[in-house]
C-alpha cells in the first residue's frame, strides 16, 4: 500500500520554567519554538492530493494559538507535568488528533524545536 507523509510547519513564542530541573532552565525564560507536524495518508482525492495543505496548516495554527505568547506552566496540561519540549510535542500531537475530522490523514508525529540546534519528536 502506498503511504504519503505530509508535513506542515509553524512557530510560536512562549515562556516557561522547568520546576524540577536544576540549571538555567529552572528560571523563567522563553523560546521561539518551531513546530513540524507530520501526517500520513494513503488515498489520493480527485485533485491528486491526500489533503489540502491549507487544511493541515489551519489545524496546526489553531494549536499554535493555544500556546503562542503564553506562560506554558499556567496551561492546565502543563500544570500536571513539566513544560519540557517533550511534553510540548505530546500536547501538540494530541491536540491535532482531536481536531482532525478528515478520515484521509492521521497524525504521525510532531517535532518541536526549542532552538535551531535542539528539538524532540513525539509520535505514536
| Domain count within the chain | 1
Domain holding 54: CATH number?
A: 3.30.479.10
Model-wide pTM > 0.85: yes
Between CA 73 and CA 14 the distance in angstroms is 10
Tens-digit pLDDT profile for residues 58-105: 999 999 999 999 999 999 999 999 999 999 999 999 999 999 998 899
Nearest alpha-carbon partner for 37 in 115, 108, 117: 108
Q: Regarding beta strands 106-115 and 29-41, do their DSSP bridges make them parallel or antiparallel, or are they unpaired? A: antiparallel
Structural domain boundaries, residue 97: 4-123
Tens-digit pLDDT profile for residues 20-51: 887 787 889 999 999 999 999 999 999 999 99
Q: Are 85 and 29 in contact (CB under 8 A)?
A: no
Amino acid at each position: 500500500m502506498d503511504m504519503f507523509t505530509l508535513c506542515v510547519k509553524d512557530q510560536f513564542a512562549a515562556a516557561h520554567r522547568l520546576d524540577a530541573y536544576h540549571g538555567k532552565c529552572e528560571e523563567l525564560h522563553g523560546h521561539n519554538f518551531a513546530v513540524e507536524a507530520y501526517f500520513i495518508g494513503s488515498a489520493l482525492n480527485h485533485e491528486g492530493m491526500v489533503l489540502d495543505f491549507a487544511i493541515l496548516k489551519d489545524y496546526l495554527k489553531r494549536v499554535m494559538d493555544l500556546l503562542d505568547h503564553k506562560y506554558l506552566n499556567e496551561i492546565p496540561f502543563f500544570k500536571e507535568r513539566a513544560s519540557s519540549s517533550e511534553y510540548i510535542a505530546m500536547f501538540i500531537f494530541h491536540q491535532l488528533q482531536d481536531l482532525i475530522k478528515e478520515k484521509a490523514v492521521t497524525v504521525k508525529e510532531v517535532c518541536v524545536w526549542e532552538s535551531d540546534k535542539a528539538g524532540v519528536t513525539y509520535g505514536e
